[in-house]
A and B are shown apart, each in its own frame.
Chain A
Amino acid sequence: MTVHNLYIFDRNGTCLHYSEWNRKKQAGISKEEEYKLMYGMLFSIRSFVSKMSPLDMKDGFLAFQTSRYKLHYYETPTGVKIVMNTDLGVPNCRDVLHQIYSTLYVEYIVKNPLCPLGETLQSELFSSRLESFIRALPFFSARAG
């Protein structure tokens, strides 16, 4: 089991943070393009899911999986979106993503007056805390290679 990468978007689609751990394949486009494609996909999935749902939704879209990876999604009421790609063995990650938001993003970004909201995050403290948080996850184990 492993974590491949993590994206944080704000409500306008700006990629606030990106980090990767065990990523085997790049999308073949520039990072900026990739963020836009990812945000666009999530935006469409959200609208797709809300139209397709047979009942009223509370949390909405949670995750999708392909044959090789699983994408976990968490959105706050303010529109901050946290996306984590893991391998298929990882169970529901909603709590983990919520924790990233409440114990890292809120604590080190929202409460930091020097971090402007709505721009790429420059905070080293946040990056290093996030890094150690992800590495400490029970399903994070770096595979050889």
Chain B
Amino acid sequence: MAIFSVYVVNKAGGLIYQYDNYVPRAEAEKTFSFPLDLVLKIHDEKAVVSFGQRDGIRVGHAVLSINGVDVNGKHTADGKEIIEYLKDSTNYPVSIRFGRARLSSNEKLMLASMFHSLFAIGSQLSPEVGSSGIEMLETDTFKLHCFQTLTGIKFIVMADPRQAGIDALLRKIYEIYSDFALKNPFYSLEMPIRCELFDQNLKSSLEIAEKAGTFGPGS
């Protein structure tokens, strides 16, 4: 499993489709007694660890659940502020699950339009004439591949750095988009893609691409 997610961005920078294919679990659950030996702070409406990294709990991880019940942003399931709740010694011992915060749909929209601008700046700062925007962005945990069609739609695939065959996959996704979104009489251009056939075909080609781009056992 090594293709993380797919984004489709229209020519204005709006996100019209997003699919999470595989979300790796990087979570740690631990039971704490009073007082809590971690410093939490509110960041982007989430309770995030700001100091006291240990036992797989890293700085930047958010509180995901308390005593097995999922939290809701910076509030517990029953509406109390997480930070206030954890200050109260009567609530201890408490079991807290930490992990990387999942992106909300609003954040996904924002990140998609952010990439749209970065793509344009990437071509403006080119030292060579006739450069496109960012086609591949590499980090140590993932590679982001982007394919822009002649009509300005961007297909973005995030995959494991070792996953091969993403260029072919991007063109396949374009083909699926043309066949099952554009040819759907109920689909209006530039609007979010809600087509069952598009979903199905995208999922099956992601599976095929993951299998075809093999990179040895154990990864």
Q: A residues near B, CB below 8 A? A: 4-5, 20, 22-25, 27-28, 34, 37-38, 40-41, 44-45, 48-49, 51-69, 71, 85, 87
The answer to whether B107 has its CB under 8 Å from any CB of chain A is: yes
Near A by CB (< 8 A), chain B positions 91-129 give 100, 103, 107, 111, 114-115, 117-118, 121-129
Query: Are B111 and A41 in contact (CB-based, < 8 A)?
Result: no
Q: B residues near A, CB below 8 A? A: 4-5, 23-24, 26, 58, 60, 100, 103, 107, 111, 114-115, 117-118, 121-142, 144, 158
Task: Give the top 5 A-B pairs by smallest Cβ distance, nearest first.
Answer: A4-B127, A68-B131, A68-B128, A67-B132, A64-B137
Q: Which residues of B contact A4 (CB under 8 A)?
A: 127-128
7 A-B pairs besides A52-B142, A53-B141, A62-B138 with CB distance below 8 A are A23-B127, A44-B117, A48-B115, A52-B158, A66-B133, A66-B134, A71-B122
* A44/B127 contact (C-beta < 8 A), A59-B140, A60-B139 known: no
22 contacts between A and B (CB under 8 A): A25-B126, A25-B127, A34-B125, A37-B124, A37-B125, A48-B111, A51-B111, A53-B100, A54-B141, A56-B141, A59-B139, A61-B137, A62-B139, A64-B122, A64-B138, A65-B134, A65-B136, A68-B126, A68-B129, A68-B131, A69-B127, A69-B131
Complex formed: what's the CA distance from A58 to B133 in Å? 26
Complex formed: what's the CA distance from A57 to B137 in Å? 14
Query: Are A51 and B103 in contact (CB-based, < 8 A)?
Result: yes
* A58/B140 contact (C-beta < 8 A), A37-B125, A66-B132, A69-B127 known: yes
Residue of A nearest to B122 (CB): A66
CB A43 to nearest CB in B, in angstroms, measures 11
Complex formed: what's the CA distance from A57 to B142 in Å? 9
